Chain A
């Protein structure tokens, strides 16, 4: 019989055996035994955050930029409840994460003990799965299972709640063996009949479009490679969701830009008018589809997704394929090549002609200004001065996020970290912390808004402590810009509580944290200031003062169809939004 060790040691050994090198956390009473074990070892580096929400977003940034599982360690009660936002965010965006929470000792569970919360109850709806470990001899198996569930199938967050007495109790450690879970067995290979049917549709398409999402990135770098090969082989146009940016190089001619509510005119019209839609790892989210009854009315739809519940959830499709993107694309490419099909050149060239017509609208054009910095211009300049394979962009949520998605360009996967599904303001700074931990040599920039940045600003202290030279690039318009934009369009310009009142001086704030503050107020000083930011050997807050009431266009107003977009030239027009649309978010 193996020597028995305590629960805290079992946790550490399980982390090691699952390849964990970094964890993000915050100590507290109910996890002290685990922190004590952390103190006595050097294999795993702990990054001390300033708030548990920060730990979860940091783990997300770490996971999304490295393809590894993010790991979080927090205490019971408030530690766990503070982690809920990040867990929900990871669930919505399918980010692999294992979150270990301390719990009050088993004999106190249910007694309303100090810092007790029903963590498995609270997190049931915001995790892929969760566990409360009451017996130390289950602990090793549960830990291994947690990593397996978090990282396979459609990835997601898993909580392991460990009462303090279980951390002290002596028990047996079991090595992770080839896990075959008795009920959880995600399917990675697609059904060949469906793949053949999909190839038929693709080969005979006259107006096809690839619609790709975060699933391509989650599937791994090989999926992006296969996607590129397939798109090149067919010559078809491709667009991508917010979560999928980088899976296909934006510099390529076949790339139509992002689609959806703030996507490009050409991408959305191609989606609307196509005859064959090839959805790869995207989920027909409401930001993408707009009005469902008017969504791409004349197309046959192929949908590749690893999660069977994504199929026919929002949009009924013609050829569903349940499986992992890389596996399915590999099979699909093989079938496509073996049939030696050639796309209908004539149809394709007239389809491209149509698309070029939409492209000529130049929907991302904006009026330049030589006195004030336009936010779009700021992102364009930031892109020109920082682009490269080692640059990683995170964002907060709002107008700046959309401008970043529109004007920053990505050539590779895992370089773009944003809160897509949940739309969590405050994501970007801690996510940048996690990205920088995973990529110590990378240039990590959080394109932020001043309101979002204030939500998790304290994580700058984490960056300073751990010498993580993240750059927080704030597009400061002194408004919760997207809220203001909607109030302008839908609520008669009554800017209820959307003005960022009483903002701190961000340069002084940076200095107070021991970081560097840089401000730019005029277009003429922008480039030099950005260069100074890049050259600064440590964390920076860049306070970029931009025009205050700029709107984010193009835009599909809520409740409208893809072919009913607002373009920048429409600014100032009365926007007609149906009552039904107004009720949407």
Chain B
């Protein structure tokens, strides 16, 4: 089993938006030793009090199957879908990236941000806060490029994801 290759999966979980539901999900991951690369959660249907939790995790196929089954047996969980294997999906993450600098570095940062279609949401004579949206790899790349140009800090949302096509999951 341990010889199987690990892979990254994005798992979408629809849950009742009730007290403690996020703690149940996180506790399951920590208690059973699964990885969480990123996790996002927010209410997506106010009238039905439903939230969507999007978890990016990694593991062998057997571990991923276990994660799905373990999530599925939590009482407030309605649906669990592995967006990586069960369907085609789109995935986006948003990040705010603060870069400080003067002169050529500042100009270079602004130029690169345009190439990445990032937006300036705050500016001072010696800093920018960029807003960038894309898949996680794109954001990784942007942050890496900003590092020598005066990267101060970044805040990332983690991945949000949906299945492609006309149907809900």
Whether A309 touches B69, Cβ cut-off 8 Å, given contacts A120-B20, A121-B23, A124-B23, is yes
Residue of B23, B24, B73 with most chain A CB atoms under a 10 A cut-off: B73
In contact, A308 and B72 (Cβ under 8 angstroms): yes
Residues of B within 8 A of A313 (CB): 66, 69
Stretch of B74-82, B83-91, B93-101 lying at the A interface:
B74-82
Contacts A132-B19, A183-B16 given; does A309 touch B27 at CB 8 Å? no
B155 CB, min distance to chain A CBs, angstroms: 28
Known A-B contacts A308-B69, A309-B66; A124 and B75 likewise in contact (beta carbons under 8 Å): no
With an 8 A cutoff between CB atoms, is B70 at the interface?
Answer: yes
Question: A60 in the interface, Cβ–Cβ < 8 Å?
Answer: no
Give Cα A7 to B127, complex, Å.
Answer: 59
Contact of B31 with A by CB under 8 A: yes
| Closest chain B residue, CB of each to CB of A153 | B73
Which among A128, A130, A313 has the greatest number of chain B C-beta atoms within 10 A? A313
Q: Are B69 and A311 in contact (CB under 8 A)?
A: yes
For the complex, what is the distance from the CA of A313 to the CA of B66, rounded to whole Å? Answer: 6
Question: A312 near B: Cβ within 8 Å?
Answer: yes
Query: Given B31, B66, B77, which contacts A183 in the complex, CB threshold below 8 Å?
Result: B77
- Residues in chain B near residue A312, CB distance under 8 A: 62, 65-66
Closest to A130 in B: B20
- A-side contacts of B20, CB under 8 Å: 120-121, 124, 130, 132
The 0/1 profile, CB within 8 Å of B marked 1, for residues 287-322 of chain A is: 000001000000000000001110111001000000
Say whether A184 contacts B75, CB under 8 Å.
yes
A129 at the interface (CB under 8 A from B): yes
Cα of A513 to Cα of B23 in the assembled complex, Å = 45
Of the candidates B16, B62, B66, B73, the one whose C-beta lies within 8 Å of that of A182 is: B16
**Closest CB in chain A relative to B141 CB, distance in Å:** 37
CB-nearest residue of chain A relative to B18?
A131
| Inter-chain contact A316/B72, CB cutoff 8 Å | no
Q: Is A125 an interface residue (CB 8 A)?
A: yes
Contact of A316 among B15, B19, B62, B70 (CB under 8 A): B62
Report the separation of the CA atoms of residues A182 and B48 in the bound assembly, to the nearest whole angstrom: 11
Give chain B nearest CB distance to A390 CB in angstroms: 37
Size of the chain A interface, CB-CB below 8 angstroms: 23
Chain A residues positioned under 8 Å from B15 (CB to CB): 183
Which residue of chain A has the shortest Cβ distance to B24 in the bound complex? A124
Contact B16 A125 (CB under 8 A): no
Rounded to whole angstroms, the CA-CA distance of A120 and B23 in the bound complex is: 10
Contacts of B74 in A (CB 8 A): 129
CA distance A309 to B27 in the complex (A): 16
Residues of chain A within 8 A (CB-CB) of B75 are 128-129, 149, 181, 183-184
Please indicate the chain A residues that have their CB under 8 angstroms from the CB of B70 in the complex: 309
Residues 109-163 of A contacting B (Cβ, < 8 Å) = 120-121, 124-125, 128-130, 132, 149, 153-154
Point out the residues of chain B lying under 8 angstroms from A183, CB to CB: 15-16, 75-78
Q: How far is the CA of A183 from the CA of B23 in the complex (A)?
A: 18
Question: Which residues of B, 100-124, contact A by the 8 Å Cβ criterion?
Answer: none
In the complex, residue of chain B having the shortest beta-carbon distance to the beta carbon of A293: B1
* B window 9-47: CB within 8 A of A: 15-16, 19-20, 23-24, 27, 31
* B73 with A307: CB separation less than 8 A: yes
Cα–Cα, bound, A130→B18 (Å): 12
Closest chain-A Cβ to B56's Cβ sits at a distance in Å of: 21
A307 to B69, CA, bound (A): 8
B27 engages A182 (CB within 8 Å) = no
CB distance from B41 to the nearest CB of A (A): 16
Closest-CB distance, B169 to chain A (whole angstroms)? 15
Complex: A124 Cα to B24 Cα, angstroms: 7
Taken residue by residue from 169 to 212, chain A's Cβ proximity to chain B (1 for < 8 Å, 0 otherwise) reads as 00000000000011110000000000000000000000000000
Given the known interface contacts A308-B73, A309-B70, A311-B69, the answer about A182 and B23 at a Cβ–Cβ threshold of 8 Å is: no
Find the A residue at minimum CB distance from B61: A312
Measured CB to CB, the nearest residue on chain B to A154 is B73
Question: A487 to nearest B CB, angstroms?
Answer: 29
Nearest 8 A/B pairs, CB to CB: A309-B69, A129-B75, A183-B78, A308-B69, A184-B75, A309-B70, A125-B31, A124-B27
- List the interface of chain A (C-beta within 8 A of B): 120-121, 124-125, 128-130, 132, 149, 153-154, 181-184, 292, 307-309, 311-313, 316
List, sorted by A's number, 27 A–B pairs whose CB atoms are closer than 8 Å: A121-B20, A124-B20, A124-B23, A124-B24, A124-B27, A125-B31, A129-B74, A130-B20, A149-B75, A153-B73, A154-B73, A182-B78, A183-B76, A184-B75, A184-B76, A307-B69, A307-B73, A308-B72, A309-B66, A309-B69, A309-B70, A309-B72, A309-B73, A312-B66, A313-B69, A316-B1, A316-B62
Q: A121-B20, A121-B23, A308-B69 are in contact. List 7 more A-B contacts (CB 8 A).
A: A124-B27, A129-B75, A183-B15, A292-B1, A307-B73, A308-B72, A311-B69
